[in-house]
Structure formats: structure tokens, C-alpha cells
Structure 1
Amino acid sequence: MLMTQYGYLLMQSMHFLIKGGNISFSNDSRLAALRGGSLHLDALNIFNGGNLLRQNILQVNMTGVTGKVKFNPDGNLIHPAYDIINVIGNGIRRIGYWSNYSGLSVVPPETLYSRPPNRSSSSQKLHGVIWPGQTAQKPRGWVYPENGRHLRIAVPSRVSYCEFVSQVPGTDKFAGYCIDVFTAAINLLPYAVPYKLIPYGDGVNNPSCTELVRLITAGVYDAAIGDIAIITNRTKMVDFTQPYIESGLVVVAPVKKRNSSAWAFLQPFTGQMWSVTALFFIIVGAVVWILEHRLNDDFRGPPRRQLITILWFSFSTWFFAHRENTISTLGRFVLFIWLFVVLIINSSYTASLTSILTVQQIFSPIEGIESLISSKDPIGYQQGSFARDYLVNELGIHESRLVSLKMPEDYAKALKDGPHRGGVAAVVDERAYIELFLSARCEFSIVGQQFTKNGWGFAFPRDSPLAVDLSTAILKLSENGDLQRIHDKWLMRSACSLQGTKLEVDRLDLKSFWGLYLMCGIACLFALFINVLQMVRQFSQYNSLEVASSGRSSTSARLQTFLSFADEKEQEVKSRSKRRRLEMASYRNETMDGYSSKRQDIESPPDESPHASNEA
């Protein structure tokens, strides 16, 4: 309709030009410079009446098939409008309108001209579009270029742990967690990817994923999806997508319930923790005794009594039941720090002991991969897993110790039989499989820490754009929660959960408390240093009086005097020092008085009277 309208305008304008008799053409001097070119542009002529034709078109004011046709001074149509049609086969279907006044709309523009213009996003509407294929679903764009053929995507044909990936019996379809993740990621791509899933394996044994990855490099397959772990030697051959599930090798072993023993009260602390704690009780008791001995009668007496006091005082602080009072400022300072440390240790001990006595504990003779390596017992692994090569090449375990296991039932039987009855001591496998295996088997548990860290991804040839685009799609699935929903659909089971059960005992070690002991030790050293300075200052004053009174100043004598001074009560020392000062002051006064009287006797002459002379 639009082309018909403009054709009509052009015919009208040409009619005006013909009536004027001025239709002519001439050469364009600007094209002369292009003479000799392969396009022969210099042969083109220009219409001399072009400006007149343009003016005639801009002066049109008429009502045509599509409505009012008129131009504004800028040369633009006034209220241009178009029908938006949906071509369906050989037919058409109007799905809305467009105008520069209101934008997209399902209402004819003529009815909107009387209303205020509204270009908000909520008002931009069209009827539904029927896309090729008679579908209302919006197409995703171009098809992935592969010369018109479907991608050959290999899928491991597993015989165990079919929750991850398995072929539907009697069909060429696949189901499982990995398949749902791949399908959801493919649907998020902005283009279509035609593909065909091809089973890999004999259906009797679990296939090797490393060999499957090698076949991608050989061109046998275009990609591979499934439970394919991303490990170093595989990444050297192909490109992997972003991991869609975390995994890694773990050790699973039989566990037994641990019954509480008569010595369960010792389990909260390790032996090292008990030793250091007991040592600090004695050290703090000795430090407080040193600080209080010269001031406090509770810390004085015969040596045996003083030793008992030290031990009783130190260990009674565990229960905050010490009966001796501290008098000195330094003693109270050390006791305050120590009681804070005791409070923390006491609370931790109580909490740990409560957990041991109330929470059921389980134990295993295998503590992790280290104890498994050091033993000589056989080790199980999943058939077709990379765990075998890792145990042999990386951990140096001899092949004769490794036992291939296929089904989860084989895991359970081998672990129950144990190494002494033809079974295995433990099984090494990826965490994703083990968590599914343990969901209904409470007699086994993961022991130790996960000793490798990897994930599962989809494999593509080197530099394949699909690996990058699918990685982005997997991240979107993770962010919008679809990845977790797929996980819950396939892998969430009614787990065999021993509520309140823990593997081994979480014993409190010294490394959790060394900061407290360091703080207490520094406080004790600081208090002892200040106390020694005070005693030395007092002794220097006392010693000067002793030397003055006794006249002895040898080193041995001074040392004996200092030890005696340190053992004496401070009040007695002060009293004796005061008494000595008074005695020395009295002695000085008497000496000065005797010296004065003697001097007077010498200076005054004897009496000589005349009577005495006459008598003589």
C-alpha cells in the first residue's frame, strides 16, 4: 500500500512536469572524473527537473488509500503510519500498527491522534506473532554452522549411578542429571544447535571417559557430555565448559559407633592440652606465691605448708574456689588474667564434654588418604574412573592393591567383607558418586578430607565456540536456580542420616588456646619483673643500713642478706629498718654530745686564785 501511495505521488508530480514541458537530462560534470572506469559512471545523466519534482511532491495535500498525505516544512510526512503484518505462508495477518506519534500499537493511529502521545514501553504492544513452523515460540536466531549436519555428541553408557546419565531402554534417548543440565544450557543459547546423542560404551562396563575425550580429538565425535571429570590430562586434549557440579576424590570406609568409656571426661582435651594446662596451674600458683609471700600471711609458714598452699591455690582456681586472698596489686593483676583464662578453658571443656556424652560418636580405623597409603590393605575404585591412574601415578600406590568395582552394591559388599575376607579397606571415588552411595548406607562414611578438587563439564574440540557459550549458559542456570532444581530432581534422596552423629571426636588442641596462655605468661613475667625491681629498691635501702651497722660488704654476705631479705615479711623489714634508723640517729646524737663536752673541757683553763698561791 505504501509503495502504491508513493507511486501515485510520483505520477502526479511527473504529470505537473509534463504540463510544464520541461523534461530534460544532462551530463553531470562531477561524474566526468570517473571516465574510463569499469562501471562507466561517466555515461550517467541527471534529470534537470529534479528540484521542481521535489517541490511538487512536498506540496501534495491529499487523502489517499492510507489516509492523509501531507508534508511538513522539514520534508517529513505528517503523522506517517504503517500496518505491521505477519506473513504466514501465502497469506498475511495484521498484528498492529506503527506511527511516529504513538509507536507500536494494536489500535489504529487515527484514533490515537486525538489523545496525548504515549511512547511508554507499557503501551508498545502488538498481537502475537506466528513464526515459521506454525509456532508462537520466538526463534533463537541463526543455526549453529555445521554444514547442515547434526553434531555427533557422545554420551557415556553407564551401568551404575544411572541417576547421572543413562540410556532409556529400548530407545535412543537419554535421561539423567547431566542430560537435563545439557538440555537446559542448550536452550539458553541464542542460536539453534542441531545434535544427535550417541551412546559410548558396551552397556556392560562403565566406559573410560579419558578414551572418550581422545575420540573427540580424533574426529570420531564432535563433543561429549555426561559425568566427565575435568582433569589435567583431559584438558590437554579438549576444551571443557564451566563445571556444572563440584566433585573430587574422597575416601569412604566402614564406621562403627563409639561407646562412652569411663575415661570419657579426658577426651575433650588432647594430651598436650592437658599437660600445658596443668603446667600453667603450677606456674601461676608459684607466681602468685612469690608476689604475696612478703605481704600475705596466707602464703607464709613452714616450707611444706607453703608448697601445699601453692598447689591448692592454683588448682582450686579451676572451680573458682580458692580461699586465699590476694593483697598485692601485682598478685591481683595476675589472678585476674588467670581467672579469665580459666573461664574460657572451663567453658570450652564443658561444651566439648557435653557434645561427647550426648552426641553419638563414630570412628573408623582408616583416618584418610594418608593412613590408607601407609597401610598395605586393598583399595577399591570405580570401574572406568580416573581414580585408578591418580592413585598409581600421583600417590604411588601399587596396582596390586587396587580392586575394580562396578556397582554400588559391589562397594557395599567389598567394604563389609573388609581386607581380611577378600574385600577392601576403603573405596576411593568422586564425591558426587559417594554422596549418592551414602544416601542409604549409614554403616559407611567419608573419612578424612577431600584430597583432589575438580568438577564435571562438557567436552568440545579445541577453540570450539560452543564451549564458551555453554559455559555462559551454565552460569545463568546457576544464577537463576535452575541448576539446583535439576540437582534436587535427580540427586536428592531420603538420606540415611544419623542425626547427632559425628565422625571421631573434635578434641580441643593447644593451638586453639595458645593466645590465652601467651597472654597469661606475659602477665606473669611482667608482674615478676616489677616485683623484683621493688625488692631490689627496698633491699638497697636496707643493705645500706646493714653495712653501716655491721661493716660487712662482701658479695656472699650481700647475697645471703638479700635472700634473707626476700624471705622476710615486708612489714617486719620496714619496722626493723625504722628501728635501725632510730638507733643510728640516737648513736649519732650521743657521739656528738660527748665530742662537744670534751671540747669544752679542753678549751676552758684551770682556776688560779692568789689565795692558793699564798697558801702554797
Structure 2
Amino acid sequence: MTAEHGSKLFSAAKNVGMMKEGYAWIVTEGLSTLLDPVDAKAKDSMGGVLGVRPLVLEFENFTRRWKSYSYAGKERTSSESPLTLFGLWAYDTVWALAMAVEKAGLTNSNSFQSQNVANNTELDFANIVWYETGPRLRDEILATNFTGVSGNVSLINGQLEPSEIEIFNVVGHTEKIIGKWSSNKLTLKEELKPPIWPGDTTERPTKMRIGVPVRKSFNEFLRVESPSPKCIEYSRENISGFAIDVFQEVHRFLPFNLSYEFCPFAKRNGDSNGTYDQLVMQIEEKNFDAVVGDVTIVANRTKYVDFTLPYSESGVSMVVRMKQDKRNNMWIFLKPLSWDMWLTTFAAFIFTGVVIWLLEHRTNPEFGGSPQQQVGIIFWFSFSTLVFAHKEKIVNNWSRLVLIVWVFVVLIITQSYTASLASMLTVQRLQPAFMDIKEIQRNNYSVGYQTGSFVEKLLTEQLGFSESKLKSYQTPQEFHEALSNGSVAAIFDEIPYLIVFLKNHGSKYHMVGPVYKTGGFGFAFPLNSPLVSDFSKAILKVIENETFQDRIQKKYFSTSEIIFDDGSASVSSDSSSLTVHSFGGLFIVTLAASLISLIFYVFKFLHSQWPALKEIHSDQGSLWVAFTEMVKRFDRKDSFARASRSNSRVFPEANPNPATDEASVNVDDTADNESTTLNQQSDVATLNEHNQMDSGINHSVPDERHSS
């Protein structure tokens, strides 16, 4: 800006306190008091200003010539026409154009063509259409190279060559040159004289004032040693934590050097000076240039500051205490299996017993007897396999197949039951005291939150908790005490803090309920700050860098990634019970084996009895009579049962004359094997007795005799 506007600017800056220690001002040649003098009042306000301007060669000689130059007999003075850099540039430009015209050989204006050249004798420059020697003049202008009063006048690619620049410092009412710079040589830092900054100090005021929160808990995120309101230089001894390490790593990826110092948001006694919302407001009040820490990005704070991209995920959930499950302790032996598993297993026992009875009833005397005895055999045999205590012999190969598969299933079920019951008896079973927020609100219980957190507003404005039911706590130990003594039903906080809390008290508490998403942790800057973009890009580079995961995150959280549980998973009180689904494959196998064996056995029986049943159906003309007769025949002992036990021919199916049948049996036994043992004779007697009982069932139906 011009000297006139510059004078007003610095006067206003001094009035609002921006020309004191801690501020820095850099001006260009337009506000150089040497080339464009300002009034004394403005110069008093510019103490400590740094500036850059082109180096003016032979400035004093030109000034004397300019003062002595007369126009129309009147001497011009510097007060009437003050020298400015723009004036010097204009002076050199006129000389450059004049030299180009002479070199191009342009001595008259006949080469100019104008729209009204025929009507006017004077040349109208505003209506010039073309200039036939213009290209030659342009070439001469571009080739201009001479030393003017403003420096070397030389055009490179149509641009004025950068001249040597001098760096000045306003001290009092004078400008002191503290260094020079040219495109060919950059003055070294040690060759520059130390400037005097506003406030008459040599202390460099270029450090950003970064506010950091002061907390007494969760030092994994941020820790300030002996906090005080005074800003401090960074060192691992006085300030540390996850947020600080992330900032240091981000600072390393910035494309420029940035000096800063940390300013704890603390009182003189070292306590925190307010909430995180109040800390963020310090940026708008110009007390801090930025805020670094575990500051969560929430919508309300974006009204006053701009946040970078988040460097860590976050969200709000609740932690509740775990209580011991004391329900049904005297019936704990039922807990290893769910109710559907108990019912399915019972049904499988009965089904297997029935299948074995069907396969063995006609061939094995041990599965005979009265109906009550046969029902008892079904239950006894099936359930005795549970402890492998069955004593009945199996003679049918299909029965052996079914029993092999079933014993395998029983073995797995019993072993799983034993293991599950042992776990329940030896490991203390815990479950959350509350599973959702509505249960807490319905019982009108109190809840806790971390002091100074935005979670307080979330509980009252979004979740509908009364302020009288809210209690604030500062440390994880206070969380533990409040939950253990029942002062609160749950603690609401951001998930990163809850993860740290559960790390030390994980066996006593559990994180449950829904997760209320937030923007995560970020760095805060003033609204529309250009640093937000640079820091956000650097954060992306840090997050994608393996160093961030391996070194920083593992250092504080013992994990390669900060991936927080969304809290959607809940603990079920029946989670340890074994269900039908766990053994579905086993039940399918034993069901298939039983059905296949039963189908083959029934098919064989029907095939052997089909001629007799067909004859009965033709005589009686009734399917029901034929079906009834089939059931009766199935209930009778199979004739090859005797053969399987004595390796002789098969007994007949039934005999209406028990005496004749008994005599025939005795004759056959004597003829076939005179050395029959007493045990075999007992079996024959038992079978004859059964045949005598069968003979009175239906004497009108002829018996079909078979021979082996």
C-alpha cells in the first residue's frame, strides 16, 4: 500500500496493541520511509518493522539532480514531488523506451496509421490501428540492458530482471540496513545483523502459541509436568503423551519450518483453567494460535475454530460393572446344555431305543416279554448307553451299525457336557449389570462422566438425562470407586478413555450399549487458517506411515492400531450353554444310520411276509385286516433266531398246535445235535412257551412254514 494508507495502518495497529513485544511486521518497498517518506506520527508507530526493497544505485546523486531540475523556471523540491520507487521505475522506463526508439531509427510519425488520420493533421494515439515498425521497436525494447537509477534494467523472457534487494529495520525514526540479497548470492544468516523487533526487543516473535489442556488423569494421552500459565519450550521431560507425539510427527512432515511453544491452559496453582470448550475458545480470543491435545471434533466447536483431519477415532459409549450370575446355582448341572439341546438329546435317546427294539425284537429274546417289559427295555437300553452300562446282546448287524454311531455321538455329548460344567464350576461367571440406557433411565439411576468433557451436554441434550442424575469424575480410580460402590449405574465417556480404563479394570467392568459417533481427536486452529490444510495433509502422511503404528501407538496402547470396539456386541447370559446347532451334524448322522437300518430291515420283513399277506388280503378283502396281521407277525419271534443261536434250520413262524410244534422241535433238536447244552434247551423251552401264547391269537390264519 502507499505511504498514506500505511501511516493509518500502523497508527491503528499501535492503538490496538499490535506493535508490542510478541508481534512481527514485514513490509515491502511501498512502505519504505526512505523512498516514500511518511509523517512523523506514523514513523513513531513503525518501530521494529522489517522491510525489503530494491537496492537503489546512486540514489543520493539522483536526488541532488532531481532537486536542481527546473521546470518552467521554477525549482522543484522533494516536498512538492517526493521520490518514490514507482517514480524511479517510471524514470528508467522512459529512458529504456527512448533508447529503443533511437536504436530502431524512428524519426517521424508517418509510420503510424490511425482511423481518423485523413481528417486530422495531428496523430490520435487513442485510435492507432497499427504501427508498421512496431515489431522492430518491440525487439529493441526486449534487448534493453543498462544500469538505471533503480538498478539494472534488463528484461529476461519479458520480465524485469530481479535486482539486488536490501533488508531494512525501522529503529526510531531511521531505517538501518541489516542485510542484502540478490538472485546470485543469498546473504548467510550469520552475516545478517540481528533486528530490533516491536517492543524494542531482540527476542524473535515467530513462535506459535499452542495451547494444551491440563489434566490429572489419562496421562497416556497428554501429560504436563508442573503446569503453569507460562509458555514452555517442548521437551519430553515437561510435556509428553500420545497427542504430543503425534503432533511432533506431524510437524516433521510439514513442508516448512514452524517455530512454536506450548502454553498450558492452567491456573497459577497448576490446576486446569477450564473445560475443553473454554480451551478451544482461547483461539477465538487470540490468546492461543492453536490447540493441540486430545480435543474431540464436535459440531459445536466448529463454530469458533477449524479442525484438522482426525488423527484418532473416537465415539461415546458406557461402561457398567459386571455382576456374578447367581441364578439357578442349585440347578447348575442343567446349564451346560440349553433347553433345546436337552429336549433334542432326550428325543434322540428314545428314538435310538425304539430303532434298536424294532431291529432286535423278532430275533433277540432279550428284547421280548410283556408290553411293559418291552417299553422298559427301550428306555433302559437307550439311556444305559449314556454310561455304556447296557448288558443286552445285539445279534442284528443293522443294530450294531446304529449302536456304533450312537455310542460315538453319546461320547462326544458327554465329554462336551463335562468340559462345559467344569468351566462353570471353576470360572466365575459375570454379566453386565445393565445392558442399555433405557434400563438405567427407567430405574432412575445416576450416571457419571469425565469432568470437563462435552459428554455432559450429550447426556442432557441428546440422551435426556436430568442434570441431577449426572456426576462428574476426573480419574479412572474415581470411575472405579463410583461403579463399585453403586454411586452410579454407568460411566459415559469417549471410547479411547474407556479402553484405557478397561485395560486396568477389565475383569470387573464391561463396555456395552450403542456408540455415539464423534469426529475423533484433531488439532484446532483459527477459522480459515491456511495451516489447517498443511497439517491435515501431514496427518494423512503420519497415519499411513508405519512409524506411527509401530512406535507411537504401541508405546501408549500396546497395540499396532487404535481400533476401538463399537460396543454393539453384548454379553448373553446363556453364551456358555451348548446348543443343538453345536451338535447338529452328529444328530443328523445318527438319524441317518437309524433310518437306513430300519428301512432295510422292514423291507426284508415285508419281502418275506408278502405272499402270506397277499393271500390274507385276497381272502378277507380288507387292507386293515392285512395290516393287523402284518403287525402280529412282526411281533412274533423270527424263525431264524433259533438258527442263529444253534446253527440249525429255522423254526416255523407259528403253529396252531403247540404240542405238535414242541414235539417237532424236540425231534429236530435230537436229530441235529444230541449234545445240545442245557442253555440251548432252556432257549427252546422259552421259544415254545412264546409260540403257545401266539397260537391262541388267530387259529384261522394258516402258518407259512419256511426252511433254512
Say if 1:311 and 1:242 are closer, same or farther in 2 by CA, change over 3 A: farther
Aligned partner of 1:164 in structure 2 is: 221
Q: CA deviation at 1:253?
A: 1.6
Contact 1:223 1:458 in 2 (8 A): no
Q: Residue 318 of structure 1: SS of its match in structure 2?
A: coil
Say if 1:554 and 1:371 are closer, same or farther in 2 by CA, change over 3 A: same
Question: Are 2:631 and 1:563 aligned?
Answer: yes
Q: Equivalents in 1 of 2:534, 2:302: separation in Å?
A: 16
Aligned partner of 1:468 in structure 2 is: 537
Say if 1:582 and 1:403 are closer, same or farther in 2 by CA, change over 3 A: closer
Contact 2:318 2:492 in 1 (8 A): yes
Q: How does 1:190-589 map to 2 (within 5 A)?
A: 191-199=256-264, 209=276, 223-229=290-296, 240-241=308-309, 243-244=311-312, 249-253=317-321, 255=323, 263-362=331-430, 365-366=433-434, 372=440, 375-388=443-456, 390-391=458-459, 401-418=469-486, 423-437=487-501, 444-446=508-510, 448=512, 451=515, 456-459=520-523, 464-478=533-547, 481-487=550-556, 507-510=576-579, 512-516=581-585, 519-520=588-589, 522-523=591-592, 524-547=594-617, 551-571=619-639, 576=652
Contact 1:313 1:324 in 2 (8 A): yes
Contact 1:217 1:238 in 2 (8 A): no
Deviations 1:286-342 (A, max 9, x none): 333334334433333222222222222222223333333444454344333333332
1:35 to 135, 141, 153: 135
Aligned letter for 1:430? E
Contact 1:366 1:447 in 2 (8 A): no
Over aligned residues, Cα RMSD in angstroms? Answer: 5.1
Q: Which runs of 5+ in 2 are unaligned?
A: 1-103, 105-131, 145-186, 193-204, 233-238, 560-570, 642-649, 656-700
Q: Equivalents in 2 of 1:42, 1:427: separation in Å?
A: 77
Q: Residue 446 of structure 1: SS of its match in structure 2?
A: strand
Deviations 1:158-216 (A, max 9, x none): 34434422433235344333222322342344543334444458776796556767887
Q: Residue 38 of structure 1: SS of its match in structure 2?
A: helix
Q: Equivalents in 2 of 1:209, 1:366: separation in Å?
A: 30
Say if 1:392 and 1:455 are closer, same or farther in 2 by CA, change over 3 A: same
Deviations 1:388-414 (A, max 9, x none): 455566666566544333344443443
Q: CA deviation at 1:473?
A: 1.0
Ranked by relative contact order (alpha carbons within 8 Å, sequence separation 6 or more), the top structure is 1
Contact 2:231 2:261 in 1 (8 A): no
Say if 1:582 and 1:414 are closer, same or farther in 2 by CA, change over 3 A: closer
Q: CA deviation at 1:467?
A: 1.4
Question: Are 2:249 and 1:179 aligned?
Answer: no
Say if 1:503 and 1:408 are closer, same or farther in 2 by CA, change over 3 A: farther
Q: How does 1:61-76 map to 2 (within 5 A)?
A: none
Contact 2:362 2:638 in 1 (8 A): yes
Q: Equivalents in 1 of 2:599, 2:275: separation in Å?
A: 71
Q: CA deviation at 1:349?
A: 2.0
Q: CA deviation at 1:482?
A: 0.8
Aligned letter for 1:227? D
Say if 1:222 and 1:380 are closer, same or farther in 2 by CA, change over 3 A: same
Say if 1:443 and 1:349 are closer, same or farther in 2 by CA, change over 3 A: closer
Contact 2:340 2:580 in 1 (8 A): no
Aligned letter for 1:474? I
Q: Which runs of 5+ in 1 are unaligned?
A: 1-26, 45-86, 92-131, 133-147, 491-501, 586-616
Q: Equivalents in 2 of 1:543, 1:259: separation in Å?
A: 60
Aligned letter for 2:231? D
Q: Equivalents in 2 of 1:317, 1:324: separation in Å?
A: 11
For these two proteins, the number of residue pairs brought into alignment is 445
Aligned partner of 1:593 in structure 2 is: none
Q: Equivalents in 1 of 2:456, 2:604: separation in Å?
A: 71
Q: CA deviation at 1:513?
A: 1.2
Q: CA deviation at 1:557?
A: 0.9
Aligned letter for 2:541? T
Aligned letter for 1:35? P
Q: Residue 482 of structure 2: SS of its match in structure 1?
A: helix
Aligned letter for 2:138? S
TM-score by length of 1: 0.57
Q: Equivalents in 2 of 1:364, 1:583: separation in Å?
A: 73
Bigger CA drift: 338-347 or 480-489? 480-489
Q: Residue 482 of structure 1: SS of its match in structure 2?
A: helix
Q: Equivalents in 1 of 2:298, 2:410: separation in Å?
A: 50
Say if 1:161 and 1:265 are closer, same or farther in 2 by CA, change over 3 A: same
Contact 1:378 1:425 in 2 (8 A): yes
TM-score by length of 2: 0.51
Q: Residue 269 of structure 1: SS of its match in structure 2?
A: coil
Q: Equivalents in 2 of 1:233, 1:513: separation in Å?
A: 50
